[in-house]
Structures are given as structure tokens and as C-alpha cells.
Structure 1
Amino acid sequence: MYAQFSDATEAQEQGTVATDSTTPKPEGNVHFGTNGGAQSSNKPTAATSTLRCDINKSTVVIAVVLIFISALTIANFVMLMQIRQGTYLGTRVQDIILKMNKTMQAKVRGQCHISYGGKCFWELQREFEFIDAQRACSAHGAYPANIYSSRHFMMIAAYLRHTKTGKGNSVWIGMTRDSQSDKNYYRNGEEVKYKMKWFLKGYPIDNTSRDQLAIRYDLDSLFDGFVNEIPNAKLHGVLCEI
């Protein structure tokens, strides 16, 4: 009986030893805490966690700053290109206009109120002596106008009637008259060949000082006609040609 107990006890002790021998050993350095349990030194400390958090925050801040700088650079580039493109287009339009002939320039600028014979005509409404009328047209690259035919005269008179509502208005033109020879001339000195319609009877006035021509028009087309005036007379406007 004692022998069996001893054997059983011995077997139990051997089993305990075997069981302990198969228990896995913790890896790394092991130390015992206050509760007697084993603790590994591989567990991150509070200082390590704080360092990693700071690094992550710095990375995010740097990324945001870089994105902002990139966006600002792209925006400035786009704005610069738009400015350059606008300047380029404006310059191109100006170059195209300058390459046109003067008549086309007048049409583009809205000065071509009447078109006749490939030329443009428009009125400048102001009280002028003839020399001032010349300067006013010249400021637009134009000249006081010629009237090239009877049909042209009727077109101009109808246009002038729509620009004013008063009676007895006169505008300077570029043509002249020589009372001694009873001849009329275009601005370039070429003689006028068509039959001109004069304002009422008594015109043209036979006076050598009244050598500059103008158009007088009224609400009633019966009173439309050419008149000859002294150059320092103050009329109601000038008809320009380009």
C-alpha cells in the first residue's frame, strides 16, 4: 500500500515536472511586477507613443502647407496666363484694325453712318468755323466731305434731317467754289461735273470771299441745297469723310 502511494506520488511529481518543462518561456527580458507576474520590456512606453504622435502631426502640417503652396502657385500661373492672353488678344485686334483701310476702320468704330462709293460719311455736331471743322474731322483721321453726285446729295440731306429737329441748319463740307469762273471743286481740286442743287434762288452768292461750300437742310426736303459761305462763318456742324 505504501509502495503504490509512493509510486503514485512519484508519477504525479514527474508529471508536474513534465508539464512545467513544456510551458513556453516568455521572449525578451522578463521582470516580475509587484503581483508576481512576468512582464515583457517590448511594450511601448508613454514617451515613445508621444514621440510617434508628434511625428504624425508634423507630417500632416507639412503636407497641408505644401498643398496650399501648390494651389497658390497654380492660381497665380492661371491668372498670369489669362492676363497675357487678354493683352495678346487686345493687341491682335488692334493690329487687325490698323491693317484695314480707313473706310473699314470707320465701319468697325461705328463712324460709318452713310456709305457711298466705298467711303464713309458722318456728321460731327458742334458750332464750327471751317478751320475748326477741318481739325475736328482730322482728329478722326478724316476730312470735310465731298458730295460725289446728285443721288449722294439726297442721301446725305436725308441723313442730316434725322440728326436734328431744328430749321435752317447748315454743315460744312470740303468742297469749294470759284465765283469768278462759276465753277465748283472737290477737296482735291477736281472740278464738279454733276448739276448741283442750290438752296433757294439767289444761290450761289456771287462773292469771292464766299468760297467754302456747305449743305443747308430743313425739315422740308424742298429747302435742301448747297450754299457758299465765308470760311469764318459759324455753322452747326461738319460732314466728315473717310
Structure 2
Amino acid sequence: MYKLSLSILLIFLSHTLLLADSPIKNTEKGENLRYVIHYGIIRGGKASLKIRSEKIDGKDLYHATLTGKTIGLFNSLYKVKDTYESFINTETLLPEKAIRDIREGNYKRYTEIVFNREKNEVNSTRSGIHKVPEGTHDILSAFYFARANHFNSNLKVGEVVKIQTHFSDELFLLQFRFMGYETINSKIGDVNCYKFIPIVATGRAFKDEDDMTIWISADANRIPVRVQFDLFIGSLRCDLINFSDFSYDSLLDND
């Protein structure tokens, strides 16, 4: 069951790490966020997000790369290394290409998705061409869009943010309920945060729809500070431990 829950954490972590401000103040240098994953008191994994600007085929794009993996004892018991990439249009914040490279134990899967905005289609290297609703995101670009359009001080407690994505060769509706503000004691100090509860599917891992919580810094950077899962077998927690190329002062200020 640990391998299942860790895989879930890495997948949902990839859904949340991209809430930082779009690349942001120094696009040439880029940004880097680093996280540690704990299962109870045991350190079992780490994750990082790197983002930079690139020019591809004459287009200015944001290139985001998220990697999560097991470490230490858990890496010996069940090795996980998941990588997600997104190439995002700098004007619309809609993705033009997404990559998902999954390595979990003996299971491996590599998929590239290309978005055709004129035809409202995606072309997957694994499943071919599919129709999608207009404005569909991949799982990473969705949060740049959310940050720019939804995650701000205008949110009302109980409000649910919904964004249509295409993930794992399927349409997937992301839903986040805003729960108010909370101060989180973290490795970088006390940070005032937005508190969100994603609406998750219940079943093998989650008992209730609100068994996952995300805390996002309530400032211009919108940095994910903590992600926590309450599972049948216990709690998993992912904490920010280091960042570069952000303003530390603004991180501690309110929005």
C-alpha cells in the first residue's frame, strides 16, 4: 500500500507545483523549487520544479519540468521516478505540448501530447487523436492559468475553481475548494497561505473527497508551501525546503 500512496502523492504533487507566478520576473535565468516528501516521520521522496523560457520553432514558450522520486529505503523497496513537462504559450498560458514519463517499480510509460488549438484536438503518441473542449489544459499549464485568473484575494470561502485538463490520455476536471487562509510554519519561515482542498476520487486510497489539502503562499509568487494527504494507511506530506529566484520578502507578505 505504501507504493500506491507514494505514487498518488507524486501524481497529485505534479498537479500542484505549478502554482508559482508565471516565469516570472527573470525568465532567462528561470526558477527552481525543491520539496521533500515524508511518510509519517520518515523521509521517503523528493521533488523539484524547474522552469525557464525557450524559443521553439520561433515561438516564445515557458518550459516547465517537474520530477518526483523516492529516496533511501523506499527507493530500494519500490523505486519511483515520475517526470512531467509542459511547453506553455506565454500569451494564452495554454499548452502546446506535454510530456509524461512514468517509472514506478517495473511499470514504465512515456507519452507525448501535442495540442491543436484550431481543431480542438490532442494527438497522443499512445492513443492517437482525440477531440477536447476548447481551452483544455494539460495538468501543469492548468495551474498557471488558475494562478493568473482564479487564485487571488477575490476568492470566497467555499468557492470551487474548476479547470478542464487532458491527463493520462483522458479528460480530467480539476476542482479546488477554497477554505480560507492559514499560516504555515515551514523551512522558510511562517508563511500566510491560501488553503485549498482538491476534490479527489474516493476508493482505494482516499476515504473522503477532502482528504488532500494544499497550502499556497498568499502573495504574488503563489508558491505551493505544503501538500498533505490523509490516506487509509496514514498521512503523506510534501514540504517546500528551498527555492531560488523568488523575492523572499514578498513571500512573507499578504496578497
TM-score by length of 1: 0.21
Structure with a larger share of its residues in helix? 1
Larger radius of gyration: 1
TM-score by length of 2: 0.21
Structure with a larger share of its residues in strand? 2
